[in-house]
Amino acid sequence: GAGAALAGKHVVITAGGTREPLDPVRFLGNRSSGKQGVALAHAALARGATVTLIAANLEVAPPTEVELRAVGSALELEVAVTAAAAVADVVIMAAAVADYRPVAARADKIKKDETGGTMLLELTRNPDILAGLARTKRSGQVLIGFAAETETDSVRLLELGREKMARKGCDFLVVNRVGWAEGFASDRNAITVLDHGGDIVCEASGSKLSVAGRILDLIT
Ligand code: C5P
């Protein structure tokens, strides 16, 4: 059993995928199901932690024992996680956060142009929430990010992970492959975890719950 290795600890987990509004009825989204983040919440609860789950459009039910904060867009997620992180011992950014959002959400439903066959959308960068959390981290807080990549070459995948770690500055980065059939939708996952210096500290594959346990083992 996992025991109570995280008893008295406050763990904040973001899960799911953000939706960036285009107009009152449409959004730009991604295929994250929230399964890995929800598995992390289950695993943290099993270890005795108090868990805040910041849920962006989950496709799976979260555990009832968490403090749940539902968010839609990246900017909403940023507000919620920044507030929760101020009192957290551990922050895990498992959510797939949109890198860009429409410059402005239209007040009214966008009409199709009957004369043209194409349409241009102007996007603007979202803040890098994880990098921001790393800059304002409380001393002793453990910050974990994810790097979901479609790269099939495992050497190149690790390089991408190390580059991402350098940009983000978190304590651990969980690198995993995603694709049409793996990662987001699946009940299983395969991960490589890098520490702050880019060294491999864990390789695991299996159910998302077992992978969650291996990730939490790093902080306990
Ligand atoms: O840069 P990339 O999206 O690949 O980074 C993935 C990691 O950074 C994830 O932990 C994700 O939650 C986080 N992220 C973020 N803010 C963004 C984009 C991603 O915090 N705008």
Q: Is 129 annotated as a binding residue?
A: yes
**Ligand 1 centre from 182 Cα, in Å?**
19
Our answer on whether the CB atom of 129 is closer than 6 Å to any ligand 1 atom is yes
Locate the ligand 1 atom nearest the alpha carbon of residue 144 and give its number: 10
Contacts 24+ apart (CB under 8 A), 162-167: 162/194, 162/198, 165/194, 165/196, 165/198, 166/198, 167/128, 167/131
Beta-bridge mates of residue 213: none
- pLDDT value of residue 92: 98
Active site (annotated) includes residue 189: no
Tell me if 97 CB under 6 Å of ligand 1. yes
Q: How confident is the model at residue 2 (pLDDT cuts 50, 70, 90)?
A: low
**Ligand 1 mutation pick, 93, 160, 172, max ligand atoms within 8 A of CB:** 93
Burial pattern 129-155, b for ≥16 Cβ within 10 A else e, equals bbebbbeebeeebbbbbbbbbebeeee
ipTM over 0.95: yes
By alpha-carbon position, which residue is closest to atom 19 of ligand 1? 97
pLDDT tens by residue, 92-116: 999 999 999 999 999 999 999 888 8
Global confidence as pTM: 0.96
